[in-house]
Amino acid sequence: MMRFIQKLRGALAVTLLAAGLALAAAPAPAQAQAPASPGAPAQASEQMLFNYLQGNVQGRTSIPDPRSATLIQPQGRDFQHFWRTTLKWIGGIAVGGMLVVLVIFYATRGKIRIAAGPSGRTIERFNGIERFAHWITASTFIILGITGLNISFGRELLLPIMGPEAFTTWSQWGKIAHNFLSFPFTLGVLLMLVIWIKDNIPSGADVAWFASGGGLVGHGHPPAKRFNGGQKVIFWAVVLGGGAIAVTGFIMMFPFQFVTTMDGMQLATQLHGIISLVLIAIILAHIYIGSIGMEGAFDAMGSGKVDLNWAKEHHSLWVDEVMSAGRGAPQAPPGARKAGAD
C-alpha cells in the first residue's frame, strides 16, 4: 500500500516536473492552472531536448574537459541494466552451462581412448615455436579469464566469502594483472594466426567431419588434415574472438583516446564482456578435450609429439601428408626404443 502511494506521488511529481508544469495542475498551494506563457522564451526543457538530441544533452562548460559538457547521458541507465542483468545471464549460462555439459559428458562418455591403443611410436605435431605461441596465449588467457570473471561475478560469488577489504585487494591486483597480461596475450594470438592460418582454411572435409559427429560426440574417426573441423572452430574463435577482446580491451585501457564518445566506450565495455564470456565457455571445452577428455591429446601441446596411432585416428590425412613428404617421419624421443626395433 505504501508502495502504491509512493508510486502515485512519484507519478504526480514526475508529471509536474518533467513536463515543465506547463500542462499539469499545480500542487496544493496554487489555485489556478499555469498555462504555458506565450511570452516565455523558447523552452529548453529536458524532455524536449532529449527528443531533439536523441540522447545526450550537450552544452558548453568552462572546464577544459569536453566530456564535462555532456549534461545528461540517459543511456547510462541502459549500461547499468546490461551490466547487472544481461551480461550476468549470458555469462552465467555460457560459462556455467558449459561446465555442467562437460561434467555430464565426462560422466557418460568418459575419457576418449586411442582405439588401437598407444603404439609407442611418436610423430612430431607441434614444434617449439607453435607450442610457445599456444602456451603464451593459454597461460595469459587463464589469468585474464579468472580476473575478468572476478570483475563480472566476483561481487556475487567472492565478496561475501572474502569480505570487502580482502576482495578489493585481490581485485586491485587482478586488475593490474588483467591490464598488463593483455600484451603477451595479444602477441600469442597474433603468433598463432600467422603460424596456423594456412592449416585452418575451412574445406569440404570439415563438413564431412561435422556430419559424422566429429571426435567429441561421434564414435567414428572421420578423416582430417592437420586440424579437424572442431579445431578449426577453436582456431577461428580464438583468433577472431581473442582479436575482438584485445581491441575492445585496449580501447578500455586507454579510455576516450581511441574511441572518444561515451557510446563507443560503453559499447566496447559491453562487447568485451560478452565476447570474453563466450570465449571462456568455448575454451573450457577446448581445455577439457585437450586434457582429461581424450587420451594422447595433451602430448601434442605438451611434448609436441603425439602417438602415431592417435594421429592416424584423429588426423589421418595429415599423417599421410607428413609420411609422404618424409618430414617428421615417425621418430622416438631420445632414449626411447627406435621405431621398428620391436
Partner 1 sequence: MARMKFLCDADRCIECNACVTACKNEHEVPWGINRRRVVTISDGKPGERSISMACMHCTDAPCAAVCPVDCFYTTADGVVLHSKDLCIGCGYCFYACPFGAPQYPRLGNFGSRGKMDKCTYCAGGPEADSTMAEYAKYGSNRLAEGKLPLCAEMCSTKSLLAGDGDIIAQIYAERVTRRGYGSGAWGWRVAYKDVTTG
Least CB distance to partner 1 at residue 142 (A): 19
200 near partner 1, judged by CB under 8 A: no
- CB closer to partner 1 out of 182 and 228: 182
Site string for partner 1, 284-303 (x = CB under 8 A): --------------------
161 near partner 1, judged by CB under 8 A: no
CA-based nearest residue to 263, from 83, 79, 72, 80:
79
Size of site (CB under 8 A) for partner 1? 82
b/e per residue 95-122 (b: at least 16 CB within 10 A): beebeeebeebeeeeeebebeeebbebb
- CB closer to partner 1 out of 58 and 260: 58
1 near partner 1, judged by CB under 8 A: no
336 near partner 1, judged by CB under 8 A: no
Least CB distance to partner 1 at residue 167 (A): 6
41 near partner 1, judged by CB under 8 A: yes
166 near partner 1, judged by CB under 8 A: no
Report the relative pairing of strands 57-58 and 70-72 from DSSP bridges.
antiparallel
Least CB distance to partner 1 at residue 188 (A): 19
b/e per residue 187-224 (b: at least 16 CB within 10 A): ebbbbbbebbeeebeeeeebeebbebebbeeeeebbbb
Could you tell me which residues come within 8 angstroms of residue 55 by beta carbon, excluding any fewer than 6 positions away? 73, 74, 75, 263
Least CB distance to partner 1 at residue 20 (A): 4
- CB closer to partner 1 out of 61 and 203: 61
First to last CA, the chain: 87
What span, in angstroms and rounded, lies between the C-alpha atoms of 186 and 189?
Answer: 5
Among 72, 99, 187, 259, binds partner 1 (CB under 8 A): 72
Among 238, 265, 277, 283, binds partner 1 (CB under 8 A): 265
Among 34, 93, 115, 207, binds partner 1 (CB under 8 A): 34
Among 195, 262, 284, 332, binds partner 1 (CB under 8 A): 262
Could you tell me which residues come within 8 angstroms of residue 208 by beta carbon, excluding any fewer than 6 positions away? 222, 223
88 near partner 1, judged by CB under 8 A: no
Among 144, 197, 269, 307, binds partner 1 (CB under 8 A): 269
119 near partner 1, judged by CB under 8 A: no
35 near partner 1, judged by CB under 8 A: yes
- Tell me if residue 208 falls in helix, strand or coil: helix
Runs of H (alpha helix) within 254-333:
262-290, 298-302, 308-314, 316-325
Question: With left for phi above 0 and alpha for psi between -120 and 50, is residue 99 left, alpha or beta?
Answer: alpha
Residue 97 Cα to chain centre, angstroms: 15
260 near partner 1, judged by CB under 8 A: no
